[in-house]
């Protein structure tokens, strides 16, 4: 059967859903068809920790501006829907027991503050610090608070006693990414978009221009435009187009653990331990983190710590090392001693996760591809939930041929054609912007 679309979005993760929303609702593109072989939002977008932050240390302010735009849009959407996706402003809290790391945190925060994060406030006295609310996002301070010594331990008494200081990023928090994605899809569909459950298996291209999308069912959608939003499988869809998509993959696991003993206050921010840890004689890098999440029991925590960041081929379902859950619990117990009671019980939690799909400098791919009518919105790495709104907006502006924001060129696939850009990013590394 042949159907006709003005644009097809391949992939109904958070990114494809946001793209469909922007195309159908904000750009008023007529016939938008979203194709996914799975139920929407069930590959990577429901596996993350769903945090957001305007914290982007270097190498320049590009990612900070892009994600800040996304947070503006998230707040706008939250206001429109009565905060149906429960966006809060609890912040990201980076803690350390190391005086030298505290100095590095101060230097990084000063730099990010200078490029637009907002003011950095320093507290040696707890009384000058404004605590965060449990819910809501309005009327909150931006920037960051650096709490030194006793001020940090009083503000966050669950942190280990040897905590030397903590940096609280304030335009940050968590939200429910699945509810956000559902809202995008609902609004897109209410504005004429349709969802088709099928697998994209090929394209019809003539004279270098997009003509149609072939589906596994045998159906064909005649369309002059396609948006590739296939998440970690985007390179496979790119191959069908004859275009090489420059991405690699990193496996990230998260543990959902019931905190039946209330080791962590339910209104805690996203708490991150910056210091390296030694677990079972093995030296692991800093970055263990945890946050409360209200799932079916209302007492769950998400724990995450990617101590191995090697590139590995995308496969589904992903496979995780059996001991990973236990290492996560031990890492988090080093920063929050009350978590110690769960050591040995990590296997009782649910370990899942997915693949970060990344470019070499960890910036997304959003823009035109070399086939006329083909666009990409992918490689959202570990920031796809927080930046999907701005990513969907940007690709929709490309499709609708509207004026583009000034960060557009930084995400265009053609940036790698510029030898001076490639020379510059070689120094940055793929870890740029990753917690």
Ligand X SMILES: Cc1cc2nc3c(=O)[nH]c(=O)nc-3n(C[C@H](O)[C@H](O)[C@H](O)COP(=O)(O)OP(=O)(O)OC[C@H]3O[C@@H](n4cnc5c(N)ncnc54)[C@H](O)[C@@H]3O)c2cc1C
Least Å from the CB of residue 116 to ligand X = 19
* Residue 386 is a binding residue for ligand X (CB under 6 A): yes
CB of 54 to ligand X, least distance (A): 12
Residue 36 interacting with ligand X (CB under 6 A) = yes
Name the residue nearer to ligand X (CB basis): 97 or 399.
Answer: 399
CA atoms of 249 and 357, how far apart (whole Å): 5
CB of 320 to ligand X, least distance (A): 10
Interaction between residue 382 and ligand X (CB under 6 A): yes
165 vs 269, beta carbon nearer ligand X: 269
Measured in Å, how far apart are the chain's first and last C-alpha atoms?
Answer: 47
Binder among 106, 199, 360, 415 for ligand X (CB under 6 A): 199
Beta carbons of 43 and 316 less than 8 angstroms apart: yes
How many angstroms separate the CA atoms of 257 and 348, rounded?
Answer: 7
Using rule CB under 6 A, residue 380 touches ligand X: yes
Of 270 and 342, the one with the shorter C-beta distance to ligand X is: 270
Q: Binding of ligand X at residue 231 (CB under 6 A)? A: yes
Piece of 9-17, 161-169, 307-315, 401-409 that binds ligand X (CB under 6 A): 9-17
Residue 325 C-beta: closest distance to ligand X, Å = 13
Our finding on whether 353 is near ligand X (CB under 6 A) is: yes
Q: Judged by CB under 6 A, which of 45, 77, 96, 176 binds ligand X?
A: 45
Closest contact distance (angstroms) between CB of 124 and ligand X is 31
Lookup: tokens for 323:
């001991």
User: What span, in angstroms and rounded, lies between the C-alpha atoms of 232 and 63?
Assistant: 20
List the one residue from 120, 230, 327, 329 that touches ligand X (CB under 6 A): 230
Give the shortest CB-433-to-ligand X separation in angstroms.
Answer: 11
* Stretch 110-139: interaction string toward ligand X, x if CB under 6 A: ------------------------------
Window contacting ligand X (CB under 6 A); options: 14-22, 94-102, 149-157, 307-315: 14-22
Using CB under 6 A as the binding rule, whether residue 48 contacts ligand X is answered as: yes
Q: Does 12 bind ligand X (CB under 6 A)?
A: yes
Specify the residue, 292 or 353, whose C-beta has the smaller distance to ligand X: 353
| Residue 13 in the binding site for ligand X (CB under 6 A) | yes
Q: Do residues 435 and 382 make contact, with C-beta atoms less than 8 angstroms apart?
A: yes
Indicate the residue among 17 and 163 with the shorter CB distance to ligand X. Answer: 17
Q: Of residues 22, 24, 47, 245, which one binds ligand X by CB under 6 A?
A: 47
364 binds ligand X (CB under 6 A): no
Using CB under 6 A as the binding rule, the residues of this chain from 271 to 330 that contact ligand X are 304
Q: Which residue lies nearer to ligand X by CB, 89 or 153?
A: 89
Residues that bind ligand X (CB under 6 A): 10-16, 35-38, 43-45, 47-51, 199-200, 229-233, 237, 252, 254, 304, 353-354, 378, 380-386
């Amino acid at each position: 059967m042949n159907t006709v679309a003005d644009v097809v979005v391949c992939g109904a993760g958070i990114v494809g859903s946001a793209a469909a929303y922007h195309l159908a609702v904000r750009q008023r593109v007529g016939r938008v068809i979203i194709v996914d072989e799975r139920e929407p939002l069930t590959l990577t977008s429901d596996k993350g920790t769903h945090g957001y932050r305007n914290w982007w240390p270097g190498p320049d302010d590009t990612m900070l501006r892009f994600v800040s735009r996304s947070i503006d849009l998230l707040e706008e959407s939250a206001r429109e829907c009565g905060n149906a996706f429960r966006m809060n402003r609890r912040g990201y809290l980076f803690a350390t027991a190391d005086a030298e790391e505290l100095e590095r945190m101060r230097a990084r925060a000063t730099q990010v503050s200078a490029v637009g994060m907002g003011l950095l406030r320093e507290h040696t006295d707890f009384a000058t610090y404004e605590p965060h609310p449990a819910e809501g996002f309005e009327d909150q301070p931006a920037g960051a608070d650096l709490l030194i010594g006793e001020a940090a331990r009083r503000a966050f008494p669950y942190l280990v006693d040897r905590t030397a200081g903590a940096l609280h990023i304030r335009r940050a928090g968590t939200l429910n990414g699945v509810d956000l994605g559902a809202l995008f899809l609902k609004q897109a569909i209410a504005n004429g978009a349709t969802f088709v459950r099928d697998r994209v298996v090929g394209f019809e291209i003539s004279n270098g221009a997009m003509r149609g999308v072939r589906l596994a069912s045998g159906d064909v959608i005649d369309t002059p435009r396609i948006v590739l939003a296939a998440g970690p499988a985007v390179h496979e869809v790119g191959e069908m187009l004859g275009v090489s998509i420059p991405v690699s993959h990193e496996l990230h696991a998260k543990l959902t653990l019931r905190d039946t003993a209330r080791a962590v206050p339910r209104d805690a921010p996203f708490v991150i331990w910056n210091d390296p840890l030694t677990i079972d004689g093995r030296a692991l890098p800093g970055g263990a983190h945890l946050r409360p999440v209200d799932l079916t029991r209302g007492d769950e925590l998400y724990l995450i710590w990617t101590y191995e960041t090697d590139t590995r081929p995308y496969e589904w379902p992903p496979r995780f090392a059996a001991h990973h859950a236990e290492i996560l619990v031990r890492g988090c117990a080093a920063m929050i001693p009350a978590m110690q009671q769960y050591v040995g019980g990590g296997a009782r939690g649910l370990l899942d996760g997915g693949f970060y799909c990344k470019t070499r400098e960890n910036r997304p791919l959003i823009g035109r591809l070399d086939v006329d009518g083909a666009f990409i919105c992918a490689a959202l790495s570990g920031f796809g939930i927080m930046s999907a709104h701005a990513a969907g907006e940007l690709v929709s502006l490309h499709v609708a041929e509207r004026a583009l924001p000034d960060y557009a060129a930084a995400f265009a696939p053609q940036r790698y054609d510029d030898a001076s850009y490639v020379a510059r990013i070689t120094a940055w590394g793929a870890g740029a912007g990753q917690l």
